[in-house]
Structure 1
Amino acid sequence: MIGLVLKELWGRKRRLAGSFVAVFLGVTFLMGTLVLGDTLAGSIDGYFSRAYGDTDVSVRNATKVSDTPWGARGQIDASALDRVRAVDGVANAEPVIQGSGQLLAKDGTLIQSRGPRTAGNWLNDPKLNPYRLAQGRAPRAPDEVVINKMFADEGDLRVGDRTAVLTPARVPVTVVGISRFGDEDAFGETSFTAFSLEGAQRYVAQGTDRISGIWLRAAGGVGQDELASRVRPVLSPGTEAVTGRAQSEEGMSLVESGFLRVFRIVLGAFGGVALLVAAFSIHNTFAITMAQRTRESALLRALGAGRRQVVAVVSFEALAVGGVATLAGLAGGFGFAALLRQLFTQFRIGIAMEGLTVSATTFLITVPVGLVVTLAAALGPALKASRVPPLAALREVAAEAGRPTDTRIIVGSVLAAVSVAAVVSGAISDQMPMASAGAVLSLVAMVVLGPVAARRAAAIVGGPAARLRGVPGRLARDNATRSPQRTAGAATALMIGVGVVTLLTVFIGSLRASLEDGVAGSFSGPIVVNGGGNETGGFGTRLVDEAERLPQVRAAAGIGNGDVRVDGKIANVRVADPAALRRVLDLDVTQGGIAGPDTFAVSEKTADDRGWKAGSKVTVTFADGGRQAFTVGAVYGNADLAGDYLVPRSAWNRHTRQPLDTMAFVDLKPGASVAGARRALTALAKPYGAPSVEDRDAFVASRTEDMNGFIAVVYGMLVLAIVIALLGIANTLSLSVHERTRELGLLRAVGATRPQIRSMVRWESVIVALFGTAGGLGLGIFLGWGLGTALGNPFAPPAAQLAVIALVGAVAGALAAVRPAKRAAQRAILASIAAP
């Protein structure tokens, strides 16, 4: 049996090359994405293991209001430092001050970063300090700072230069040192500007009575847990002591459950799409080869082979191909991961990924998946081959069924009806889970109904070719319609790849339209001062006060971001003066009213989810541990700019010493010049780090800028899935050409020229590709509508991008046929006619 398998593989190696390539690319994709996830996790773990130096215990505020590792905790009483230092077993304890601190470049503009923009004090104990001096010295005077190397390079700053730090007040400083975080130029993309202790107290903590925490180093022979237990009795309520090990694990856990989890899911989904596409290519290859070997299978049965033995032969072939391709894919995955790492580095995700890391789990996932996918794809053709009766060896048999079975038609129709109903129902009722379930089911229905639709679809798509290209066009159309299962099998892989790309394109277009509608529906003014999307960035709130005094300005209002607990649940909130915000934004208040600057308000969605209404009592816990009871004064419908929670600026400022706005909306007096107002606001904003002064269209575009970068990465990764699909089309055509050797010879004998043969094969490929592309476009547009509508986004498919996708599908179909068409035209006439 093994000898027979090896002989079959060697004798049909060219036919199985397409399957090998499909498995190889699919495994390469999966391996690469998993290795990238491992590399990112290893890099983040390395960052957090070094984030606290050799700190054994940290004393900090016990109130947690954020699920992100960079989420700020409130300050604690500075008097805790003396009590902690007196604890037996403390070798050294240093106060730690950390807060917002945005470094300005040499030209006075803000140095942009995706990571937090922080400032604090330089720790003099090198064992507690995770940073080390690369150049210069530590700060001594209050206006001296050490900056990390990444941002020194980004801002064109050197030791001895004068610049400023926004804390949020503008603080002129002198750079006296440049630091590195271990061997890295920064902690990810975290900007850290280190003052002397006196400078940090003055500019960051805004006084000597409060600090962010205390970092402790244990004396010899005292463990971290022991030291933490000794320190806890001297701490005030609302303050806690945690070991350095626990703090590192906590940070890593937050990343694992948040950003890294989403990152892995997205990468895994792309790998799954690639393998799914590869599975269809593999299945189609084995289906054709087994159809061509019908008489061979019958001879095996006639010689005494059982059905299990026939299945075993095909299964061993599949495992051999899958095994070799998987091993090659493991090696290719490392190269692909390196390429992805460079790609993500270019888009600056905030973490420097040096080298590649791979876990044992990655191998345990990739190897079985590669083998199982190959075996599962070949199982259907193997079972079909085992059912061939022995008498089939004595007579001619059809290679493939001419039409789909009634069972396929009925089952496919039921699945299609249920999936469409689920998507439509989910979209109408805003039920994303139902719409998602319908989307998955629709993929299954598409696979089942593919051969049913293939004959009619190929005839329609091939109609123009038959009319415009004469005999080659008609033959191409007839070949595509003659074997609907083969046509559907080749087109389905492309349909999935195009469908995913189209779905994302429509979804992003709808999301962008939602943002545009949200801005247009909420803000009628012409100018927005945009501080960017950095969660720790922004500009001082005094900018809005100064803007309102400009002669062109009728009204201006700023919005900031923050994290709190609302009735015990962590929530990201918008911070603003509600009365001022009402003058520039239409919040569509549906309950209550914004009566003044102290109004606490929530969106309709939040009110419905939490069972609130105007007049409901809620308790807000701030980062510093303070609590305040609020009454819901208003419920509003337009949450695109105001968010789900609107906390009064007057209340927020009582619990922070660094109030920031991230956006300011400006409305002008009648007849005021927009251009003149923008110039005045730009000059006014320059001391605040020069945030962008944008018109409404530019503001909407900036809100989707990060999204565009992500989509570019997604498109780049999904290209591989489409490449696999096109290889499947090429492989199908090659096998089809081989099967039709005698037919092609007879065509040449009756006068067909080589260019006509090439044209026929090319047009057959284009027909298959257009069928797959059209099906993918239709499916992607429908699912994009359903999923987008379920999230409340308007349906806004971008016509230009969809046209490009359709064009690429047609062109790619022609390219996939180049080699099969060339081989078909080169066959000798007599040898082809004499072929068995």
Structure 2
Amino acid sequence: MTGLVVRELWGHRRRLAGSLVAVFLGVAFLTGTLVLGDTLAKSIDRFFANAYAGTDVTVRNATTVTDMPGMLRGEIDGSAVERVRGVAGVAVAEPVVQASGQPLAADGKIIESQGPRIAGNWISDPELNPYRIIDGRAPRTPDEVVINRATADRGKLTVGDRTAVLTPRRVPVTVVGISKFGDDDGFGDTSFTAFTLEGMRKHVTQGDGKVTAVTIRAASGVSQDTLAERVRPVLPSGAEAVTGDDLAAEDRDRVGQFLGIFRTALAAFGGVALLVAAFSIHNTFAITVAQRVRESALLRAVGASRRQILTLVTAEALTIGVVATAAGLAGGLGCAALLKLLFASFGMGLPAQGLVIGIGTVLIAAPVGLVVTLLSALGPAVRAAKVPPLAALREVAAERPGPSEARLVIGSVLAAVAVGGAVWGALAESMAIAGAAALMCLIVMVVLGPVVARPAAAVTGAPAARWRGVPGVLARGNATRSPRRTAGAATALMVGVGVVTLMTVFAGSLRASAEDGVAGSFHGALVVNAGSNDQGGFSPQVADEVARLPQVANAAGLGQGAVRVGADNADVRIADPARLGKVLTLDVEDGGSLATADTFAVSRDAADDHDWRVGSAVTVTFANGSRQTFTIGAIYRKDDVAGDYLMPRTAWNAHNRQALDRVAFVELKPGASAADAQRAIETLVKPYGAPTVQDREAYVAAQTEQMDAFLGIVYAMLALAIIIALLGIANTLALSVHERTRELGLLRAVGATRAQVRSMVRWESVIVALFGTAGGVGLGVFLGWALTRALGNPFAAQALPLAIIVLVGALAGVLAAIRPARRAARLAALTAIAAP
């Protein structure tokens, strides 16, 4: 049996090459996503290990108001430094003062970074300081700074340059040193600017004596846990002592939550690629089994059992799976490197150096590749085992010419349940129901594929039959002749196109929701925008100065912060309520005002979630541990700009020493020139890091820039699934050409030209591709509608992207047919007629 397996594989190597490539690409992509996830996890572990390598205990504020990693905590009393230094077992205790600090580049603009932009004091103890100077020296005066290497490179800054740091007020400084975070150019994508301790207190804390933390190194022989226990009794109220190991684990867990979502999304793309590969493998084995009916029957006739026939086909699939999976594991390294480049090209550089292959990657990717291959070949293998010995003496097809009645009935029932569930989930705004229905739709697509393949191919091929003459008629006939085969080839493409269409509709609907929300709230002419970094911003003075320009009627800034509302962590928007009400329409439905000094406003969604109404008392805890009871003064409906919680700036400033606006909305006076006003504002904001000044349309578009980048990454990643599907179509055509060798020879004998044969095969491929593309687009649009409505977003299917998807699908069919069509046209008529 082993020798027979080897001979069958070698004898059909060209036929099975497509399956091998499909498995290889699917496993390589899955491996690449897992390798990228392992590499990111390793990089994050390295970052936090470096951050707390020399820190045994840290004293910090005990209040937590956000689950976001990298967010600074509130301050504690500065007396904690001297108290801690007097504890037995403390070798070194250094105060840490950190806050928002945005360095300006050589051109005077804020140096962009995706992570936090932090200013802090330079810690003199090298074991407690994770940063090390690689050029220049440490700061010695309040107006000298050290910046990390990545920030310096982005801002084109070198030692000796004069620049400024926004804290948020503009602080002129001299760069005296460039630092690295261990061996990295920065702590992820964080910008870190180091002053002296005196400089931080002068420029940021205004001498209030408070510190962000106290970092401690233990004396020799004192453990972290022991030192933490000794430190806790001397701490001021609201402070806590945490060991370095616990800090690292805490930060890893927080980042790990976001990394887990990222890795799950990557694995989902890998799963789509493998699913598409499974359809291609199944179709290839179904055709090869159908072509070997007599061979299988002869084996049965000479004594082979059904189990041996099943083993033969299964062994072929297992061999292909082993070879392709092994190659895919190796190819996963290259795929991971390409994925890193892909994310970087869309402005989402990942903090990963080198590539890490964990044992878990191998234990996941290898079995998955083998199992997918075996399951895909299982059906054809069972059909091959059922071939009777008498089939060696007569024409018997291993695959039925059409679908069974049971398939039609079962598929119809499942389709009704799936469609009904999707509609129900959409109308009830239940993501769980809509998601379950979406998964069932995939099953329905597989079950009903052969049922609809024949009529769908007939309709899709009608234009070719009418306009392309005999080749078009023959192409449509070939596509409808074996609906199972057509469905098998088209389903792989249908899955890939369906996911692409779903993501297109989903992103379009989210974009429409964001655009409608912003456009419905803001009706002014111009916006000063700090960009997409949630922890960046500019001084609230910008809105004050803009409001004084002669072209401006009203201007209001809007900031963002984190607090605890009741028992829940929450993001809040910060503004002057009276001024904000003049530039934004929030649709206040209850309450006399947006907010006063001791009241704040909430969205209707937040009010309903917490059963609040106007006059309800709510306790708000700030990052520094202080609490204040607010009264809900207004409830509004439009929360796209203002968020769920809108707090007065006076209340925020009373508990936070830094105030930043992320955006300032500007309404012009009647008759004022928008162009003149924009130029005036751009001149005014240059000292504040030159935030972008946009008209209303540009601002609305900017709110969806990240979504566009995300969609571009999705398209690029799903392109592999489309490529695998096209390989499946090409493989199906190649096997079909081989199967129809005598038929093609007869066509040539009765006068068909090589060009007509090529055209016939090419149009057959286009018909199959259009069937798969049209089915994928239809399924994607329907599921996109269901899922977006389940989330409560408007449905927005843009015609142009969908038309492009259909056009690309047709073009893909032409490309998939190039090699099979050339091979068919090259067949010699007499040789083909004489073929067995």
- 2:334 alignment partner in structure 1: 335
In 1, distance between residues paired with 2:316 and 2:655?
69
Q: 1:339-488 counterparts in 2 under 5 A?
A: 339-349=338-348, 351-488=350-487
Note if contact 2:343-2:350 (Cα within 8 Å) is conserved in structure 1. Answer: no
Note if contact 1:138-1:176 (Cα within 8 Å) is conserved in structure 2. Answer: yes
Note if contact 1:111-1:154 (Cα within 8 Å) is conserved in structure 2. Answer: yes
How much has 1:32 moved relative to structure 2?
Answer: 0.6
In 2, distance between residues paired with 1:384 and 1:60?
69
- 2:181 alignment partner in structure 1: 181
Summarize deviations over 1:447-485 as a string: whole Å, max 9, x none: 111111111111111111111111111000000001011
- 1:97 alignment partner in structure 2: 97
In 1, distance between residues paired with 2:824 and 2:352?
48
How much has 1:578 moved relative to structure 2?
Answer: 2.4
- 2:519 alignment partner in structure 1: 520
How much has 1:348 moved relative to structure 2?
Answer: 4.2
Summarize deviations over 1:709-739 as a string: whole Å, max 9, x none: 2222211111110000000000000111111
TM-score computed with the length of structure 2 as normaliser: 0.98
How much has 1:38 moved relative to structure 2?
Answer: 0.7
How much has 1:595 moved relative to structure 2?
Answer: 5.2
Aligned residues: 835
- 1:309 alignment partner in structure 2: 308
Moved more, 467-476 or 508-517: 508-517
- 2:826 alignment partner in structure 1: 826
Note if contact 2:340-2:349 (Cα within 8 Å) is conserved in structure 1. Answer: no
1:632 maps to amino acid: I
- 1:673 alignment partner in structure 2: 673
Question: What is the CA RMSD across the aligned residues, in angstroms?
Answer: 1.3
Note if contact 1:733-1:820 (Cα within 8 Å) is conserved in structure 2. Answer: yes
Summarize deviations over 1:294-337 as a string: whole Å, max 9, x none: 22222233333333222211111111000000001011111111
How much has 1:431 moved relative to structure 2?
Answer: 1.4
1:304 maps to amino acid: G
Note if contact 2:340-2:350 (Cα within 8 Å) is conserved in structure 1. Answer: no
Relative distance call for 1:742 and 1:111 in structure 2 (3 A) is same
In 2, distance between residues paired with 1:609 and 1:289?
59
- 2:125 alignment partner in structure 1: 125
Between the aligned residues of both structures, percent identity stands at 66
In 2, distance between residues paired with 1:323 and 1:495?
27
TM-score computed with the length of structure 1 as normaliser: 0.98
2:126 maps to amino acid: P
In 2, distance between residues paired with 1:351 and 1:725?
29
In 1, distance between residues paired with 2:453 and 2:577?
59
Summarize deviations over 1:649-669 as a string: whole Å, max 9, x none: 221111110111101111122
Note if contact 1:44-1:351 (Cα within 8 Å) is conserved in structure 2. Answer: no
How much has 1:761 moved relative to structure 2?
Answer: 0.5
1:261 aligns with 2:254: no
- 2:769 alignment partner in structure 1: 769
Note if contact 1:188-1:350 (Cα within 8 Å) is conserved in structure 2. Answer: no
1:246 aligns with 2:246: yes
1:272 maps to amino acid: G
1:484 maps to amino acid: P
In 1, distance between residues paired with 2:326 and 2:446?
29
1:164 aligns with 2:139: no
SS at match of 1:58: strand
In 2, distance between residues paired with 1:545 and 1:136?
39
Q: 1:223-302 counterparts in 2 under 5 A?
A: 223-257=223-257, 259-302=258-301
In 2, distance between residues paired with 1:197 and 1:545?
31
In 2, distance between residues paired with 1:67 and 1:158?
36
In 1, distance between residues paired with 2:550 and 2:366?
69
Note if contact 1:741-1:832 (Cα within 8 Å) is conserved in structure 2. Answer: yes
Note if contact 1:742-1:833 (Cα within 8 Å) is conserved in structure 2. Answer: yes
SS at match of 1:713: helix
Note if contact 1:91-1:218 (Cα within 8 Å) is conserved in structure 2. Answer: yes
In 2, distance between residues paired with 1:208 and 1:663?
28
2:35 maps to amino acid: V
Note if contact 2:113-2:191 (Cα within 8 Å) is conserved in structure 1. Answer: yes
2:247 maps to amino acid: Q
2:130 maps to amino acid: P
SS at match of 2:563: strand
1:628 maps to amino acid: Q
2:570 maps to amino acid: A
In 1, distance between residues paired with 2:594 and 2:281?
67
Note if contact 2:577-2:595 (Cα within 8 Å) is conserved in structure 1. Answer: yes
How much has 1:539 moved relative to structure 2?
Answer: 0.6
How much has 1:540 moved relative to structure 2?
Answer: 0.8
Q: 1:633-782 counterparts in 2 under 5 A?
A: 633-782=633-782
How much has 1:349 moved relative to structure 2?
Answer: 3.0
Note if contact 1:580-1:597 (Cα within 8 Å) is conserved in structure 2. Answer: no
SS at match of 1:671: coil
- 1:54 alignment partner in structure 2: 54
Note if contact 2:774-2:806 (Cα within 8 Å) is conserved in structure 1. Answer: yes
How much has 1:247 moved relative to structure 2?
Answer: 0.7
- 1:593 alignment partner in structure 2: 592
Note if contact 1:311-1:385 (Cα within 8 Å) is conserved in structure 2. Answer: yes
In 2, distance between residues paired with 1:530 and 1:405?
62
1:577 aligns with 2:576: yes
- 2:565 alignment partner in structure 1: 566
In 2, distance between residues paired with 1:557 and 1:407?
67
1:262 maps to amino acid: I
- 2:115 alignment partner in structure 1: 115
Summarize deviations over 1:527-586 as a string: whole Å, max 9, x none: 111111212100111111222222222222211111111111111221222232211111
Note if contact 1:142-1:195 (Cα within 8 Å) is conserved in structure 2. Answer: yes
Q: 1:172-211 counterparts in 2 under 5 A?
A: 172-211=172-211
How much has 1:350 moved relative to structure 2?
Answer: 5.2
Q: 1:18-33 counterparts in 2 under 5 A?
A: 18-33=18-33
1:440 maps to amino acid: L
